[in-house]
Structure 1
Amino acid sequence: MRKGLNFYAVRWYFEMEIKEIKEHNGYYKVFLTNGEEMKLLPEVVRKYDLTEGKEITPELLSEIKRSELYEEARRYLLRIFEYRPYTENEVKQKLEKRGIDPEIIKQLITQLKQSGLIDDYKFAKDWIETRGFRFGVYRLRGELLRKGVAPEIIDKALTDAEIPDPYELARRLAMRRLKQLPASLPTDKKARRLMAFLARRGINYETIVEVIKEVLSK
């Protein structure tokens, strides 16, 4: 008796069909004859031509669920890219935090790189050109490294980007900061404050020393 029940239970599971499909808030609710219910995006429903009465094998069910996870993650990425670009590493971290399967992450990153949405070189070059009028190379490099951009990509972007001459940038920043300091402040204290300020801006030590000598000698 027990074996007979198991046989029919297995047969019932393997002979699933779509009992009903309902559209709801931009999704489709798909009800199966085994009692299972799925919430699917329209793209997934169209991809597998899901209609009432369609037979669903366990293999197809697994594929549908995986496709739904892929499309949900893809939609999420397209949504966040509307606000700003992201590096490959940033995308990977965001998907990992959402618990996305590593293989799906790999597929999505490949797709977005092919479409041009993920482009670490362009990201780095734009980042450098946008911030290069306020910060030195050391700081820019550090920021990009923290975003996961490869060192060789950063080097190429720094070479190609249109940014001010490092010395002129440091000089301009130092002059502006000097005007904000009290005129009565002793020279050695001015020098220390300028040094700390320029270091935070990512200016290298040698340039800082030369610039401070120049601006304080006037």
Structure 2
Amino acid sequence: MPGRRGARAGRGWDAIPPRTATDTPETDTPETRKPARSADPRSESEIAREICLRQLATRPRTRAELSKVLVRKGISEEVIAEVLDRYDEVGIIDDAAFARAWVASRHHGRGLARRALANELRQHGVGAEEASEALEAVDDESEAETARALVDRKLRTATGAPDAVFRRLVSMLARKGYPAGVAIRAVKDALAARDEEAAEFADAIDPDAMASDADPLS
């Protein structure tokens, strides 16, 4: 039946004419058409400022840290410079103040030496000048005192042969950034003080009195 097939192919009286570019379905009207998804109405600067404030709400940040976050979020270099320059002007970000606070907190709280502190400041993007100024607060005397305090605290629970204890304590100080000379001196002094205290305690004990206390028939 070629005629019928021809009609179905579009050559008969019941053929459906092809749609043209000007044809519009009855349901495709301004009232029924879905509106296009609107873009973020905020400017790029507003978005950048909001990102920065969220970051600063958790802890102080350096300019370099905020810049890295903004780059990851797709903010343009021009807007990053504009926003961060403004934050510098009003004191919202201050790398020098960040460095001072970081050194004070990590030296007294974690016992880190200048070398470890300098490395951490560098990782946070603090410049050499700001880092050097902040590290002046940790002098040789402060470093030696902090190292000795760390060793004294560890010695309270240290067990094992003396040479093994010595190596563990020196390694602990090295991990915190202390130079070898400072670490060895701190451990030697602490061990000597402990041995001296133990000797004084032993001398103060009366052996006859101890024997008397131990003998239930005396």
- Point out 4+ residue stretches in structure 1 off by more than 6 angstroms: 161-164
CA contact (8 A) 1:90 1:148 kept: yes
Q: Which residue of 2 aligns with 1:175?
A: 152
Q: Report SS of the residue matched to 1:40.
A: coil
Match of 1:197 among 172, 178, 181: 172
**160 and 85 in structure 1: CA distance in 2 versus 1, 3 angstrom threshold:** same
CA distance in 1, matches of 2:137, 2:152: 27
Q: How is 1:108-119 mapped onto 2 (pairs within 5 angstroms)?
A: 108-119=83-94
CA distance in 2, matches of 1:192, 1:102: 50
Match of 2:112 among 135, 148, 154: 135
Structure 2 residue 143 is matched with structure 1 residue 166: yes
More strand by share: 1
Q: Point out where structure 1 has 5 or more consecutive residues left out of the alignment.
A: 1-30, 42-67
Q: How is 1:23-38 mapped onto 2 (pairs within 5 angstroms)?
A: 37-38=38-39
Cα RMSD after superposing both structures? 2.1
Identical amino acids, percent of aligned pairs: 29
CA distance in 1, matches of 2:181, 2:140: 19
CA distance in 2, matches of 1:160, 1:207: 18
Instruction: Return the offset for 1:79.
Output: 2.2
Instruction: Return the offset for 1:101.
Output: 0.6
Instruction: Return the offset for 1:38.
Output: 3.5
CA contact (8 A) 1:132 1:164 kept: no
Match of 1:91 among 66, 71, 95: 66
Deviation string for 1:163-198 (max 9, x for gaps)? 97111100000111111211xx11111111001111
Q: Report SS of the residue matched to 1:203.
A: coil
CA contact (8 A) 1:128 1:163 kept: no
Q: How is 1:8-23 mapped onto 2 (pairs within 5 angstroms)?
A: none
Q: Which residue of 1 aligns with 2:95?
A: 120
Structure 2 residue 133 is matched with structure 1 residue 156: yes
Match of 1:102 among 77, 80, 83: 77
**93 and 170 in structure 1: CA distance in 2 versus 1, 3 angstrom threshold:** same
CA distance in 1, matches of 2:161, 2:37: 78
Structure 2 residue 83 is matched with structure 1 residue 82: no
Of structures 1 and 2, the larger Rg is shown by 2
After TM superposition, the score normalised by the length of structure 1 is 0.67
CA distance in 2, matches of 1:37, 1:101: 21
CA contact (8 A) 1:125 1:161 kept: no
